[in-house]
Structure 1
Amino acid sequence: MKRTLRLAMAGGGEGAFIGAIHRAAAALDGDWRLVAGAFSSDPERNRRSGEMLGIEAARTYASLDALLAAEAALPADERVDAIAIVTPNHLHAPMAIAALEAGFHVFCEKPMALDLEEARLIAAAAARSGRHFALAFTYSGYPLVEEARVRVARGDFGRIRLVQVEYSQGWLSQAIDREGNKQAEWRTDPARAGLGGCLGDIGTHAFHLAEHVSGLKVQELCADVATHVPGRRLDDDVSVLLRLDGGARGTLKATQVAAGDENGLKLRIHGEHGGLEWAQMEPNTLTLRWLDRPTEIIRAGGPGLAESTLRRLRTPAGHPEGYIEAFANLYHAFALRILDSAETASFPSVEVGLRTMGFVESVIANAASDTKWTKLSAE
């Protein structure tokens, strides 16, 4: 009989958007049960959060340090298996390192850290501890993203020539970061968000999706970084030219000031014989276009899907699955790895974290210099 894993959460308390998403995703397949947490640095908000979530008062801890010490002292069949870190970026590295060194697996929000050096410290801690580390690059969990990856990998389109990815939002078109919006405040604060604003928040998603589906690594880039809202301290608009493995070329556009746009993540990949298109706001459709035959529309749950795609589906065709289900696929894959299951599935891990942080640093460096092309290095 499969064991249900025990999860603790750092951050994500009362009023937090992403904490609720993590909890719903972790619970969806019955792999995880939330049993402990340090949900807020505010004692009263922390207490209320624990009560709301049905957590025992004794396991609603005042801090992550208190959580790690108390849980490590429990018998192995009672203590938590993993810590979900759902805090602003500046806390990712200290919390992840502490949790790994205390012997717990870690599922961390993206980006991995404030900068590449912090990401390297997390990677080193994971290697020393032997614990698993996962990152919440959610969009790789969508079934038809997996289908796209499989079709590219098996050569359906021939050698890949073009990779185009766009992530367009409009929610930061006004100066809401200076008007009390807490989600905007920390995302535009260099001390809490890191080197990149829009770049770190959604540009990293676009970068990961492009590499994940194409199977190609970005080797060099040429970037333009802009801040359109006066007084904002981090970027809100980024454009990047990409040179990838094998001579492929790409473009990456990430913006949070496209007024009226919602969550417009789109990917197009073209090879010698045809190409594909996928959009996050219509995630159950994958479009294939060919030089020598009619366009194909692939639907989630429909015929002809790869086995690894089918394992990511939960409902019959025509019953839409979305963001939480994609997120749940990552938590399920993480659970399989921890349990050393014969069934395997992938999730974004340390290597992805290092590459995405290397991407952020390379974009910032290139945009600030007179150099046309900057080599991406995440070693």
Structure 2
Amino acid sequence: MIDTGAAIVGTGLMGRVHAEALARIGVPVVGVVGSSSDRAAASGLGAYYCSFEEMLDDPRVRSVHICSPNHLHHAQAMAAMRAGRHVVCEKPLALNPAHAHELIAAATDFGVVNAVCFVSRFYPLCRQAAQNVSSGSLGSLRLVTGSYFQDWLSKDTDTNWRLDSQLGGPLRTVGDIGSHWLDLAGFITGQRVESVMADLTTALPERSDTEDMAGILLRFDGGARGVLTLSQVSPGRKNHLAVELSGSDASLRWDSESPEQLWIGHRDEPNQLRLRDTGDYPAGHIQGYPDAFKAFFRAVYDAIDADEPPDQPDYPTFADGFEQVLLAEAIAESARLETWVSVQR
């Protein structure tokens, strides 16, 4: 296989985000695949293929970025790996645990680099927060709270393919934005969620098959407790992810709309507001969402350049995608039964 570049499957927002980030780290996009050749041609992303199969037949394609609707992820990732391509997949990895587990097994069998796009981990201050926790500066972790609010579906006239559970999956708000929060919370705390108590609500009756809002209680395996609130119907909140940790010695808080600031709270001394002082640009030169993708892809392509997955990846893999599928299953079951449900691993 010629060592050339990436192909992108999907020409919507995430396809464009991936194309921009790849260009910024010097990885060529040799072609894109859309839901139709007309759509791919109109995307403005460059050369295009008339079908997914035509893309896999191109020997220049070294890696495949899957940015298509959720229900296609499993089959497309499996086909790409069978063809010997490394795979970067948008979340969710799959719509059920069986398919997600199958993808992990295939990635191991084929020896390909595999990644899932939980990019919040790559904000410099999120990595700093994880270091604070692991160093013990917060003391014993007691409470993890937070939210992820958006408003893009707050009107009854708002529509998108994600509203169709056959395309987006049975959990919309939890799967679409809740998975990002849960992955970030796990990354920062170093703890896994062991059980959940969930309440899912649809604000607009015509969306009866997927939830608009969620309230979730969490129990972590390290002893911490958590509370998470999610909404895609909160006017004025464009993309507000916030996470706060309370430890025995200190607290910290980070949110995606102020990504250059990490609040650190103390009992007996003044609170602190730490500004980013690491990253690609000097402090005061804001690094945001596109930069997180750039950092994520840089880590993934270091592995691709080595032509094999590392023993301990420093980026989210299919295993992390599987974790979120398992959490979603437990959350859905808890909401249905109205009781605590353990995460089955």
Same fold judged by TM-score > 0.5?
yes
3-state DSSP of counterpart to 1:195: coil
Distance in 1, matches of 2:236 and 2:282, equals: 33
Matched residue, 1:366? 334
Matched residue, 1:152? 133
Matched residue, 2:39? 45
Structure 1 letter corresponding to 2:54: A
3-state DSSP of counterpart to 1:8: strand
The reply to whether residue 346 of structure 1 matches residue 345 of structure 2 is: no
3-state DSSP of counterpart to 1:247: coil
Aligned equivalent of 1:62, options 47, 50, 73: 50
TM-superposed deviation, 1:345: 6.8
Matched residue, 2:294? 328
Contact persistence 1:165–1:210 (CA under 8 A): no
TM-superposed deviation, 1:111: 1.4
Render the CA deviation track for 1:103-142: whole Å, top value 9, x for unaligned. 0001111111122222112112111111011111121110
Contact persistence 2:198–2:214 (CA under 8 A): yes
Contact persistence 1:144–1:286 (CA under 8 A): yes
Structure 1 letter corresponding to 2:342: K
Alignment of 1:215-254 (within 5 A): 215-232=190-207, 233-254=209-230
Matched residue, 2:244? 268
TM-superposed deviation, 1:4: 8.4
Matched residue, 1:34? 29
Alignment of 1:245-324 (within 5 A): 245-301=221-277, 310=278, 313-324=279-290
CA gap 1:33/1:4 in 2 versus in 1, 3 angstroms: farther
The reply to whether residue 172 of structure 1 matches residue 153 of structure 2 is: yes
Count of aligned positions: 340
TM-superposed deviation, 1:5: 5.5
Render the CA deviation track for 1:261-304: whole Å, top value 9, x for unaligned. 11110010111101100010000000111122211111112xxx
Contact persistence 1:275–1:288 (CA under 8 A): yes
Contact persistence 1:237–1:254 (CA under 8 A): yes
Structure 2 letter corresponding to 1:46: A
Distance in 1, matches of 2:157 and 2:302, equals: 41
Distance in 1, matches of 2:140 and 2:6, equals: 43
TM-superposed deviation, 1:150: 0.8
Structure 2 letter corresponding to 1:296: Q
Distance in 2, matches of 1:5 and 1:208, equals: 31
The reply to whether residue 22 of structure 1 matches residue 18 of structure 2 is: yes
TM-superposed deviation, 1:45: 2.1
Contact persistence 1:195–1:361 (CA under 8 A): no
TM-superposed deviation, 1:83: 0.3
Distance in 2, matches of 1:4 and 1:157, equals: 46
Contact persistence 1:336–1:345 (CA under 8 A): no
Distance in 1, matches of 2:127 and 2:163, equals: 32
Contact persistence 2:3–2:62 (CA under 8 A): no
The reply to whether residue 89 of structure 1 matches residue 88 of structure 2 is: no
Distance in 1, matches of 2:157 and 2:172, equals: 14
Contact persistence 2:32–2:45 (CA under 8 A): no
3-state DSSP of counterpart to 2:61: coil
Render the CA deviation track for 1:77-114: whole Å, top value 9, x for unaligned. xx221100111100100000100111000111111112
Alignment of 1:91-110 (within 5 A): 91-110=72-91
The reply to whether residue 187 of structure 1 matches residue 149 of structure 2 is: no
Structure 2 letter corresponding to 1:130: G
Matched residue, 1:376? 343
3-state DSSP of counterpart to 1:81: strand
Distance in 1, matches of 2:18 and 2:31, equals: 14
Contact persistence 2:194–2:343 (CA under 8 A): yes
TM-superposed deviation, 1:43: 2.5
Distance in 1, matches of 2:94 and 2:103, equals: 9
* Structure 1 segments unaligned to the other structure (5+ residues): 178-183, 302-309
Matched residue, 2:10? 11
* Structure 2 segments unaligned to the other structure (5+ residues): none
Contact persistence 1:90–1:113 (CA under 8 A): yes
Moved over 6 A (4+): none
CA gap 1:176/1:138 in 2 versus in 1, 3 angstroms: farther
Distance in 2, matches of 1:80 and 1:219, equals: 39
Distance in 1, matches of 2:172 and 2:222, equals: 31
Render the CA deviation track for 1:12-31: whole Å, top value 9, x for unaligned. 2xxx222111111122222x
- Percent of counterpart pairs with the same letter? 34
Contact persistence 2:138–2:250 (CA under 8 A): yes
Contact persistence 1:4–1:33 (CA under 8 A): no
3-state DSSP of counterpart to 1:288: strand
TM-superposed deviation, 1:165: 2.1
3-state DSSP of counterpart to 1:220: strand
Distance in 1, matches of 2:37 and 2:16, equals: 19
